[in-house]
């Protein structure tokens, strides 16, 4: 009987003891989680920017070939709002920005750094830089350095590209650093939230619940990225 008690005590002590390699194991899991989150964010950004470019291209063709003006775009925004209630991404202003986006990148954006940064960053690039190469350079630097939108704007206004050079090589699509402001900002991007709840069959109440859950998850994600 005494041996059984001793064995039970030993087993409990073994179960409660933290293994020596636990920290390494935890860090490996955190790394996998961070990488998966980064890939998911990059994937959503790619799909979103591709969609916006495509919509913008369609509007651009209609404008050039059929003379579509502001009134038609306004009507389109209203009809899209009816079809996709609660989705801010299809406002008149944003549709006009999509058209500008397509005009700014006539050859598409899928294979460029532009497709990896949030929509707000892309708006800043379009509105503040006329040259195509300059926009690509800042998009690449945004990913490389993990810039938030405000930091990106600051560097554009300081004309950083004139001091650092603006050679654009064959840019390899890479993931930003897990702890960067860019990643945190991407996780909170409401355009991505709209994009992921775009179904017009989803009841408004469910979208509201989805939004609340999304916000909670973002808080958890931000905590994870700060570990």
CA distances from 205 to 40, 162, 208, 209, 212 (A): 25, 50, 5, 6, 11
Dmax over CA atoms of the chain, in Å, equals 93
pLDDT digits (tens, 9 = 90+) for 10-33: 555 456 688 889 999 999 998 898
| Residues 90-109, mean pLDDT to the nearest whole number | 95
Q: What is the pLDDT of residue 127?
A: 95
Are 208 and 57 in contact by the 8 Å Cβ rule? The answer is no
Are 56 and 100 in contact by the 8 Å Cβ rule? The answer is yes
Closest CA to 104 of 139, 81, 84, 130: 130
| Residues 113-125, mean pLDDT to the nearest whole number | 93
Angle between helices 119-128 and 149-157 (to 10 degrees): 10
Judged by average pLDDT, the poorest of 99-108, 128-137, 162-171 is 162-171
Residue 194: pLDDT band (50, 70, 90) is low
Mean pLDDT, rounded, of the chain? 78
Q: What is the pLDDT of residue 224?
A: 44
pLDDT digits (tens, 9 = 90+) for 54-88: 999 999 999 999 999 999 999 999 999 999 887 87
């Amino acid at each position: 009987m005494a041996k059984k008690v001793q064995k039970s005590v030993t087993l409990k002590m073994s179960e409660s003891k933290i293994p020596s390699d636990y920290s390494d194991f935890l860090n490996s899991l955190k790394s996998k989680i961070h990488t998966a989150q980064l890939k998911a964010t990059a994937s959503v950004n790619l799909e979103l920017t591709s969609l916006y470019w495509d919509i913008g291209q369609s509007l651009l063709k209609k404008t050039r070939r059929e003379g579509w003006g502001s009134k038609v775009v306004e009507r389109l925004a209203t009809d899209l709002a009816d079809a996709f209630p609660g989705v801010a991404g299809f406002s008149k202003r944003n549709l006009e920005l999509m058209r500008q986006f397509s005009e700014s990148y006539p050859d598409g954006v899928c294979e460029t750094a532009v497709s990896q940064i949030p929509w707000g960053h892309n708006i800043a690039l379009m509105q503040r830089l006329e040259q195509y190469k300059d926009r690509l350079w800042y998009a690449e630097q945004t990913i490389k350095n993990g810039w938030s939108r405000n930091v990106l704007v600051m560097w554009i206004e300081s004309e950083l590209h004139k001091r650092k050079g603006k050679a654009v090589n064959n840019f390899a699509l890479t993931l930003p650093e897990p702890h960067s402001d860019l990643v945190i900002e991407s996780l909170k991007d409401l355009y991505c939230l709209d994009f992921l709840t775009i179904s017009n069959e989803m009841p408004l109440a469910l979208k509201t619940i989805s939004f609340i859950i999304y916000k909670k998850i973002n808080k958890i994600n931000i905590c994870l990225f700060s570990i």
